[in-house]
Amino acid sequence: MQALWMVLGSFLFATMAVGIKFASASFGTMELVFYRGIVSVIFMAVVLRARGTSLRTPVPMMHVWRSTIGILSLSAWFYAIAHLPVATAMTLNYMSGVWVAAFIVGGALLYGQAQRQGPLLGTVLLGFAGVVMTLRPTIDHNQLFAGVIGLLSGMGAALAYMQVTALGKMGEPEVRTVFYFSLGTVVVGAVGALFTGLTPWSEVSFTAAAWVIPIGVLASLGQWCMTRAYSHGATLVVASMQYSGIVFAAIYSLVLFGDQIAPIGWAGIATIVASGILATALRARAMPDTPAEDH
């Protein structure tokens, strides 16, 4: 039953991606990061107050590091959504599970324990084979840079996921972690927008303006659903259900944007999903139950 919260969270994040796609026609990436942060800060402040959770934290630098990595990943993902089909951008971001496996394998190599990580290494190689299959037929040559950025967003999400795990072990409440992440997006988004430029509201389309608030609300609700799923459900089942977001994104791509993905592209998406689920299963013993990743 708890896994259904993950399905709902994935649907909300996929819908948020649609909002980013529409809003990016008028706003730059850093502007969208800023507006997403503003709405999320207000939302999470209400939740913190309702739960009586203090903002005081014994590990402020851990929050700084977690927010820095998470914001870089979020910005990269928003950029990829703006320049790639929604399904492709979503899939590349969801490579985070494979990246976590890659980090575990890398650590094993450093400590001379690579012989124990053969199956996990196989899932990593399978995942990157899926990336090649997904990108080659679905993006033009002038979108290759966006594809690389999308891939890096998944790497950043994996690093953020591992940092959230560390914060959870320190006993930090999930709502506090999400609040500080949202606060960081406001600061970084505002500074970034000063350099990239602010779009005058007189030049913003009605559709783009209409999505500004929903983007933040969808992000906050999606995070809440995913956190609830991870807190009360079996990690492997919940993590597997996370990939339903790619299905929702694919439907949005076809219905709303008319994106055409070649058969080999669909095969690549399926390969990435399979590798992510396998990687999650294989690392289940090494990675305890943790809160969800942020988007």
Please give the pLDDT value at position 289. Answer: 46
Length of the chain: 295
pLDDT for the residue 23:
95
Burial-class residue 234 by CB neighbours within 10 Å (0-12, 13-18, 19+). middle
Residue with tokens 């990061």: 33
Q: Tell me, what's the pLDDT at 5?
A: 81
The per-residue DSSP string of 5-27 comes to: HHHHHHHHHHHHHHHHHHHTTTS
> Are 245 and 10 within 8 A, CB to CB?
yes
Residue that the structure tokens 């948020």 belong to = 16
Cα 15 to Cα 8, 39, 99, 217, distances in angstroms: 11, 16, 24, 11
> How many Cβ atoms sit within 10 Å of the Cβ of residue 113?
11
b vs e for 79-103, b when ≥16 Cβ sit within 10 Å of the residue's Cβ?
bbbbbbbbbbbbbbbbbbbbbbbbb
Tokens of 22: 């529409």
- Look at the block and give the residue holding tokens 């943790």: 290
Residue with tokens 């990829």: 80
**What is residue 80's predicted lDDT score, i.e. its pLDDT?**
93
Residue ranges covered by each domain of the chain? 3-282
Residues sharing a CB contact under 8 Å with residue 149, sequence separation 6 or more, in sequence order = 76, 79, 80
Q: Burial level of 171, CB count in 10 A (0-12/13-18/19+)?
A: exposed
Mean pLDDT by 10 residues, the chain (295 residues): 77 94 93 93 91 90 90 93 89 80 72 64 78 67 80 86 78 85 92 89 92 91 75 61 83 87 82 79 56 50
pTM: predicted TM-score of the whole model, two decimal places: 0.83
Instruction: Tell me the C-alpha to C-alpha distance, in Å, between residue 225 and each of 84, 136, 267.
Output: 26, 34, 29
Residues 62, 188, 53, 163: is their CA dihedral positive or negative? Answer: negative
Number of alpha carbons in the 13 Å side-chain half-sphere of residue 254: 8
The Cβ of residue 118 has, within 10 Å, a number of other Cβ atoms equal to: 10
**What pLDDT score was predicted for residue 136?**
66
DSSP secondary structure, 90-126, as one string:
HHHHTTHHHHHHHHHHHHHHHTT-GGGGHHHHHHHHH
Render pLDDT for 71-126 as a digit per residue (tens, 0 to 9): 999 999 999 999 888 888 888 888 877 787 777 777 766 666 655 666 777 777 78
Alpha carbon 67 to chain centroid, angstroms:
13
Angle (CA) 43-35-224 rounded to 5° is 35
> pLDDT, tens digit, for every residue of 47-70?
899 999 899 999 999 989 988 998
Q: Calculate the dihedral angle through the C-alpha atoms of 181, 187, 191, 192, rounding to the nearest 10 degrees.
A: 20
Look up tokens 């999308």; give the residue: 150
